[in-house]
Structure 1
Amino acid sequence: MKILLLAALFALANAKHEQYIGWKSYFVGPASSEQLASLHSNSNKFNLDILSRPTVQNAGLTLVHPDSQEGFVSTLENLGITYSIHVNDVKVQLDRDDEITEAYQRSLGKFWNSSLPYENYQNWETIVSYLSETAERNPNITKLVKGGLSSEGRDLYYLKISSTDFEDWTKPVIVIDAAIHAREWIGIPVATWIINKLTDELDEADLLEKFDWIIIPVVNPDGYVYSHDYDRFWRKTRSNHTEHWCLGADANRNFDHYWNTEGVSQYACDETYAGVSVLSEPEAQFVSSIINEHLARIALYLTLHSYGSTITYPWSHRIGLSNNALGLHSVGIAIVNGIQELALPQFPRYEVGNSALVLGELISGSSDDYAHSIGVPLTLTLRLPGTIPRSSAGFILDPQYIQQVVTETWKGISAGVRRAGELVN
């Protein structure tokens, strides 16, 4: 019986990631805006899953199905776009990634109540426990709020942090969220580190005295759990609209701003499916309601994604700058300069600019465009570092770099928040 049980467990472990047998990942480096546009125009043709969006300055990372690999490579060569294979067998590399994170978890031992370890990625239950315990330890400045339920019935949490209980209307509000895309794990430790630096390890008192904060560490808990347990590259929500057999939608294409017009798919199984209607996803409703509730005071909305080492700002749905482009760019540069004070040379320097121009594609229904369109003066998307460029590292940021990334990113965000405060006052 014991042998049969061990055999069953072994079979189950090896069955994970089976859907990616034969897939390859490629570094793709367009050298001009024309090549970048051509690459995006072919993405639907080959059903590419873009993990890291390429720019003219930095190569991106793309997953390619076995049936599309020959045509994809031929197209790149015809277009003169440089490429190299990142991983020859995605399933094998995902198994290795699992081994790395599991080894780190074993080395950490039991999770204790007082803090989160930043040497690994945490499961949903641990994150919720951390939020609850942080609020309990800091009752005078923190409040844990439930903002609704996900499609699968999980509570959607955010933490309010304020020295004046959000009652001082002269203080600007800063809103930061992470993991609207389920597979973008590194944003969550950055968000919880920000909470830590505003509560248990507060050493920059002006950030609490001058600003009120709303931190949403996991916008999309259903997808995040699914990406841990079943499909590492799951990106969408897990909503179940009966008219489609494929689950979920891209919550960052679901907001009420030129919804379903640019950079989206009409096919429910695709990664960029915009949903059955505007705000059909509870997770998008969750973020939208927070923004609207505090709209009069929000100075900066910052949404954390990965990966790509870019900071972009509206507009995303069209070629054209916001009327506040100078202020947006100023905050983006402040964040980059702060990051660079601590950054490691392994990762590229962040690019800052208009989303449509930097990424070379149009995107509609995004949270940052939506927030900006209804009156938030400063809205930016920060895409964190991922795999080391041109290396054969896996598909997660190696846990050994988490502490580095959260530390350098907080350095940048704190500088950007101060700059935002100067611009709105």
Structure 2
Amino acid sequence: MHLLKIGRRTGSTKPAIFMDCGIHAREWISPAFCQWFINKAVSTYGTDSQMTSLLDTMDIFVLPVFNIDGYEHTWKIDRMWRKTRSRRNGSPCVGADPNRNFDAGWCTLGASSNPCSDTYCGASVESEIEVRNVADFIRKNKSVIKAYLTIHSYSQLLLFPYSYKYDLAADHNELLQVAEGAAETLRSLYGTRYTSGPGATTIYPAAGGSDDWAYDLGVKYSYTFELRDTGRYGFLLPESQIQPTCEETMLAVKYIAAHVLKNLV
């Protein structure tokens, strides 16, 4: 798993944002965005004042493809594959849903204990090596990680905790305000409309998700993006929409990053 760290070297520890893409294999627009983000962050440093200020002050950890084996499987064999590609003794079914495998209400609401299900929670918490690697890294660096962004598709939503329960997060009002501001900024480019809110009530209950886990760990600004579209193309978003989707999503990410930057503790 390749993790990139983007930021200006200062010789001292900086606060950071962690962003991952491609947790679900078939959501191709997600890894496309992480690649876009990496290129723009590096190539516009020094010319884009907002990006320059961000990278001067913070580091951004980017995991371009979370579910590597699943992603490869969608390119070679089954375009609509979602899960990891792990195997279990005694089961003919392959893989688990990495976004049901984190230690956040694990295997309760909106997750399945059936190994053949697309929302299979896994044999145990962090049973999937991809999940364990990410969780270990964030735990190890939680003193500097101030925001967690995970990029999915589709539905045009900007979600935040909680998904594994209906209770509102302690920081609900601020998280909602930031999400709505980010969605408004995103809409300013091409008119794409996003809905913001807690995962459980905005889309559906789902236990074991990475944003809930990160939030409960202490990463206050934890958000899940569900990128274009709302169902016309779904996971098969046409190539012509890659660039506009990335451009508008970049605005939202920069908006959240700017808020995090202003509210560093």
Task: Work out whether the TM-score is over 0.5.
Answer: yes
Partner of 1:251: 98
Give the Cα separation in 1 of the matches to 2:254 and 2:214: 21
Structure 1 residue 237 corresponds to structure 2 residue 77: no
Give the Cα separation in 2 of the matches to 1:210 and 1:342: 26
Counterparts of 1:4-403 in structure 2 under 5 Å?
156-164=1-9, 167-169=11-13, 171-202=14-45, 203=48, 204-344=51-191, 347=192, 349-359=193-203, 361-386=204-229, 391=232, 393=233, 395-403=235-243
Residues 85-141 of structure 1: per-residue CA shift (max 9 Å, x gap): xxxxxxxxxxxxxxxxxxxxxxxxxxxxxxxxxxxxxxxxxxxxxxxxxxxxxxxxx
Range with bigger deviation, 321-330 or 263-272: 321-330
Give the Cα separation in 1 of the matches to 2:245 and 2:79: 21
With over 3 angstroms needed to count, the CA separation of the structure-2 counterparts of 1:267 and 1:362, relative to structure 1, is: same
1:354 CA drift (Å): 1.0
Give the Cα separation in 1 of the matches to 2:133 and 2:98: 10
1:261 CA drift (Å): 1.3
Residues 1-43 of structure 1: per-residue CA shift (max 9 Å, x gap): xxxxxxxxxxxxxxxxxxxxxxxxxxxxxxxxxxxxxxxxxxx
Structure 1 residue 423 corresponds to structure 2 residue 258: no
With over 3 angstroms needed to count, the CA separation of the structure-2 counterparts of 1:241 and 1:320, relative to structure 1, is: same
Q: Is the 8 A contact 2:54 2:261 kept in 1?
A: no
One-letter identity of the residue aligned with 1:163: R
SS in 2 for 1:379: strand
1:395 CA drift (Å): 4.6
Residues 40-68 of structure 1: per-residue CA shift (max 9 Å, x gap): xxxxxxxxxxxxxxxxxxxxxxxxxxxxx
1:356 CA drift (Å): 1.0
Q: Is the 8 A contact 1:249 1:281 kept in 2?
A: yes
Q: Is the 8 A contact 1:338 1:413 kept in 2?
A: no
- Could you list the runs of 5+ residues in structure 2 that have no partner in the other structure? none
SS in 2 for 1:157: coil
Q: Is the 8 A contact 1:334 1:419 kept in 2?
A: no
- Could you list the runs of 5+ residues in structure 1 that have no partner in the other structure? 1-155
With over 3 angstroms needed to count, the CA separation of the structure-2 counterparts of 1:366 and 1:394, relative to structure 1, is: closer
Q: Is the 8 A contact 1:219 1:283 kept in 2?
A: yes
One-letter identity of the residue aligned with 1:351: T
SS in 1 for 2:61: strand
1:411 CA drift (Å): 1.2
Q: Is the 8 A contact 1:279 1:285 kept in 2?
A: yes
Q: Number of matched residues?
A: 261
SS in 2 for 1:424: coil
TM-score normalized by the length of structure 1: 0.59
Q: CA RMSD in A?
A: 1.5
Give the Cα separation in 2 of the matches to 1:284 and 1:395: 22
